[in-house]
Amino acid sequence: MESKIKETLITEEALQARVKALGAELTERFKDSHPLVIAVLNGSFMFCADLMKNMTFPLEIQFVKASSYKNESVSDGNVSVTGFDLDVKDRDLIVIEDIVDSGNTLSKLTRYFDELGAKSVTTVVLLDKPSRRTVAFEPEYTGFVIDDKFVVGYGLDYAQFGRNLPYIGVVDLSKVDNL
The binding site for Mg ion (CB under 5 A) comprises: 43
- Residue 101 known to be catalytic: yes
Residues that bind ligand IMP (CB under 6 A): 43, 68, 75, 97-105, 150-152, 156
**Closest to 94 in 3D by CA, of 68, 128, 59, 58:** 59
CA angle (158 as vertex; 94, 19 as ends), nearest 5:
35
Rounded to a whole number of angstroms, the minimum distance from the CB of residue 43 to Mg ion is 4
Q: How many CB atoms lie within 10 A of CB 17?
A: 11
Rounded to a whole number of angstroms, the minimum distance from the CB of residue 97 to Mg ion is 6
Between 90 and 136, CB nearer to ligand IMP: 136
Eight-state DSSP code of residue 55 = -
Between 28 and 176, CB nearer to ligand IMP: 176
Residue 16 to residue 38: CA distance in whole angstroms = 20
Q: Which partner from the list Mg ion, ligand IMP, none does 10 bind, CB cut-off 5 to 8 Å by kind? A: none
Judge contact between 141 and 26, C-beta under 8 A: yes
Judge contact between 109 and 39, C-beta under 8 A: no
**Closest to 37 in 3D by CA, of 11, 16, 64:** 64
Q: Which partner from the list Mg ion, ligand IMP, none does 104 bind, CB cut-off 5 to 8 Å by kind? A: ligand IMP
Catalytic entry in 32, 101, 114, 148:
101
Q: Which partner from the list ligand IMP, Mg ion, none does 150 bind, CB cut-off 5 to 8 Å by kind? A: ligand IMP
Q: Which partner from the list ligand IMP, Mg ion, none does 23 bind, CB cut-off 5 to 8 Å by kind? A: none
